[in-house]
Amino acid sequence: MEIGEPERQITVEPVEDPVPREEPVEAPAEPEREEIPA
């Protein structure tokens, strides 16, 4: 792709992440166990 002559090198920091990354799936909470009397 023709993008012309290089002019300068810069550092670009995104305000927000441009990647819609996978949100971590939270592990389902373990159901409370009923205490069974012995």
Partner 1 sequence: MSENAPDLIGPILGWRAWCVRETEEGWRLYSIHYGEPWPVRNDLTAWCYRSRYLSTANNISHNRHIAPTKDCFCGIYGANEFGQVRQYVIASYLSCEMVPPDYVHRVVGQVSLWGRVVQCSQGYRAGNAYPARLWLPVRRPDGKSIDVDAIAFGLADYGIPIELLDAGTRYEIVHQIGYGREAA
Nearer to partner 1, 21 or 33 (CB): 21
| C-alpha dihedral, 7 to 12 to 15 to 19, nearest 10° | 110
- Asked if 2 is part of the footprint of partner 1 (rule: CB under 8 A), the reply reads yes
Enter the tokens of residue 14.
Answer: 């995104």
Q: What is the contact mask toward partner 1 in residues 13 to 32, using x (rule: CB under 8 A)?
A: xxx--xxxxx----------
Q: Which of 6, 24, 31, 37 binds partner 1 (CB under 8 A)?
A: 6
Angle at Cα 5 formed by Cα 11 and Cα 18, nearest 5°?
35
Residues that bind partner 1 (CB under 8 A): 1-15, 18-22
